[in-house]
Amino acid sequence: MKLATEKIFTHPLGIIGAAVGATALWGSAYPFIKLSYAELGIGSDDIYRQILFAGYRFFLASLLILLFMKLIGKKISYQKGTLGRVGQIGLFQTLLQYIFFYYGMSGSSGVTGAIIAGTTSFFQILLAHYMYAGDKINARKSVGLIIGFSGVVLVGISKGSLSLEFGIAEICLLLAAFFGALGNILSKKASEQLDVLYMTACQMLLGGVALLAIGAIGAGAMPFEFTASAAWMLLYLAILSALGFVLWNTVMKYNKVGSISMYLFLIPVFGVFLSAGILGEELHLFVWAALALVVGGIVIVNGTRKPSGMELPRSAKTTI
């Protein structure tokens, strides 16, 4: 079974299928979060209900990963001495990232959210510069960072006008990208000792429970009237988090990280076009320019790396 799995995920078609599948799932989160807000009547000022809905998603996603582990024969019981590490990852990668992400998405378009999400790669480069002696920012990375963040500036230019509309929602999305990048770096270190499925399931579980507790304090445990459509969208969001991780983790396991990380540029691409297609959001000139700059920046900073440099962790979700 192990040999068959390795054969599939080292074949060129298997690599493309898994990497593209994972990024497409993550990209689809943007329009489905917006649709969920509309279906459940969650407004931009309903902060506690936004947090509670995020808690539902990640608590359910953690259970799905644990179920998957059980089905493939992995132990799902608590491993002594791991609470501190998975708790720290859950704080940044799930709790803080998604508090800011869900609030940011309530006040911005799916297209905007998808483009700003591309900055996760850039924040990883900046953080690695200070946290890893062997991964300093060089000229190539500097160029990529400047190009990529220029795309984020263009996000604030509204439909060809010269007026900037970069408000609290967009700032929150940037903070979400920052905390996601920090969580990815912490995951990289922890994955050296922990099984990545166990680590991710546990951090999602802890982060999801914290989100549920915070949301319930202000909104109650069940303030929503779930329709069939809303329940289906919640289930889909949980599945895409769990399945996207499993696909990405597996293809990363059997291949060099540097050869796979280039696929991350597809997340904002899928997010932008799925938001336009599903939500009917306009793709005006500045959106195209911003998308091109962000994707270009990601490609540049994720170019050929030194072996001693930081690699994206196997558990890296740019966990939308």
How confident is the model over 34-79, as pLDDT tens digits? 999 999 999 989 999 999 999 999 999 999 999 999 998 999 999 9
Mean pLDDT score, 67-93: 92
| Domain assignment of residue 205, yes or no | yes
Which range of 91-105, 110-124, 125-139 scores highest in mean pLDDT? It is 91-105
Beta bridge partners of 164: 157
**pLDDT value at residue 145:** 80
Burial (CB count <10 Å: 0-12, 13-18, 19+), residue 277: exposed
Lowest mean pLDDT among 1-10, 115-124, 272-281: 1-10
For residue 314, being part of any structural domain is answered with no
pLDDT at site 157? 59
pLDDT, mean over the chain: 83
The residue range of the domain holding 285 is 1-301
Q: Are 93 and 180 in contact (CB under 8 A)?
A: yes
Question: Structural domain tally of the chain?
Answer: 1
HEC profile of the chain: CHHHHHHHHHCHHHHHHHHHHHHHHHHHHHHHHHHHHHHHCCCCCCHHHHHHHHHHHHHHHHHHHHHHHHHCCCCCCCCCCCHHHHHHHHHHHHHHHHHHHHHHHHCCCHHHHHHHHCHHHHHHHHHHHHHCCCCCCCHHHHHHHHHHHHHHHHHCECCCCCCECCCHHHHHHHHHHHHHHHHHHHHHHHCCCCCHHHHHHHHHHHHHHHHHHHHHHHHCCCCCCCCHHHHHHHHHHHHHHHHHHHHHHHHHHCCCHHHHHHHHHHHHHHHHHHHHHHHCCCCCHHHHHHHHHHHHHHHHHCCCCCCCCCCCCCCCCCCC
What is the per-residue pLDDT for 315?
46
* pLDDT for position 101: 94
- CB 315 within 8 Å of CB 139: no
What would the two tokens of residue 168 be? Answer: 């609290």
310 part of a folded domain: no
* Residue at 149 is within a domain: yes
In a domain, 192, yes or no: yes
pLDDT at 281 over 70: yes
pLDDT greater than 60 at residue 1:
no
Q: State the angle between helix axes of 228-253 and 2-10 in degrees (0 to 180), rounded to the nearest 10.
A: 90
Per-residue confidence band for 190, with pLDDT thresholds at 50, 70 and 90: confident
What long-range pairs does 68-75 form, CB within 8 A, spacing at least 24? 68/197, 68/242, 68/246, 69/197, 69/198, 69/201, 74/195, 74/197, 74/198, 75/198
In this structure, is residue 221 part of a structural domain? yes
Best CA proximity match to 137, nearest among 149, 127, 151: 127
Which of 151, 95, 100 lies closest to 121, judged by CA?
Answer: 151
- The residue ranking higher by pLDDT, 165 or 309, is 165
Among all chains, which residue has been given the structure tokens 């540029």?
265
Share of the chain above pLDDT 70, in %: 85
Residue 254 lies in a domain: yes
**Length, in residues, of the chain:** 320
Lowest-pLDDT range of 73-82, 101-110, 237-246, 254-263: 254-263
- Note the Cα 132 to chain centre separation in Å: 22
pLDDT band (50, 70, 90) for residue 117? confident
Q: Could you tell me if residue 320 is inside a domain?
A: no
Closest CA to 42 of 215, 295, 173, 194: 215
What pLDDT does residue 4 have? 74
